[in-house]
Amino acid sequence: MNIEQARFNMIEQQIRPWNVLDQDVLDLLHVVKREQFVPQAYQNLAFADVEIPLPGGAAMFNPKVEARMLQELNLKKNETVLEVGAGSGYMAALMAHQAAHVTTVELSPEVKALAEANLKNAGVANVSVIEGNAAAGWNKGEQFDVIVISGGLESLPAAFLAQVKVGGRIAAIVGQAPAMSCEIVTRVSETGYDTVKLFETNAKPLAGAPVASRFTF
């Protein structure tokens, strides 16, 4: 397989047609090598329009979902990011190139080790990979500019609303399969939040996600 041709085809045939037109995002997809974050058994699918399985039932989002999320979050160099669910480390690596620091929290020790190894091999230094369950929030006394939830949720836990700064954004895939939608929630004031539904999609449930306590807009 010609890796660079496959990467070019992914960007031009999958990602750009999904209204990902921000040149910084498109350029970043060339810089962060997706194949370095895909398990060896699925290398032939590194650029395919599919979710790629990870240990313990987790999965990498489709490339177009990752890219569209990245574009709509519009990360800035001084911003801090909380990612819930490290996955392979690929999304964290993309965000790390645009933000000051990414904290990614992963429930599975095996997946945490995978993400850590991938990020180290790719030379990404401004990501902290922490083992823990942040599916209902990660209240360690700090707020974040951006929160990205890397798995499906039935609804967005209220704790996340308090953990994003005013002006900050939350990206989450919310709903019940197969009718789920990717949403960007922006905190516009101390008590105000705006929600924009970007697109319909489907995602594997976030590991450790709460099902009883629900918050809806």
pLDDT tens figures, 109-147: 999 999 999 999 999 999 999 999 999 899 787 899 999
Q: Are 177 and 154 in contact (CB under 8 A)?
A: no
Cis geometry, peptide bond prior to residue 109 (ω within 30 degrees of 0) = no
What are the Cα distances from residue 60, in Å, to 63, 119, 146, 203, 214? 8, 15, 19, 9, 25
Lookup result for tokens 């230094």: 125
Task: Count Cβ atoms within 10 A of the Cβ of residue 203 and give its class: 0-12 exposed, 13-18 middle, 19 or more buried.
Answer: buried
Triad 62, 212, 146: Cα angle to 5°: 45
Residues forming beta bridges with residue 59, ordered by sequence position: 53
**Confidence at residue 213, expressed as pLDDT on a 0 to 100 scale:** 44
Residues forming beta bridges with residue 115, ordered by sequence position: none
**Confidence at residue 179, expressed as pLDDT on a 0 to 100 scale:** 85
**Confidence at residue 211, expressed as pLDDT on a 0 to 100 scale:** 62
Kindly report the number of other CB atoms within 10 A of residue 51's CB atom: 16
**Confidence at residue 28, expressed as pLDDT on a 0 to 100 scale:** 98
Q: Which amino acid is at 125?
A: A
Low-confidence residues in the chain, pLDDT < 70: 1, 210-217
Q: Are 188 and 133 in contact (CB under 8 A)?
A: no
Q: State in words which class domain 3-201 has.
A: alpha beta
Triad 69, 52, 164: Cα angle to 5°: 30
Q: Are 101 and 51 in contact (CB under 8 A)?
A: no
Nearest by Cα to 118 from 191, 40, 198, 63? 40
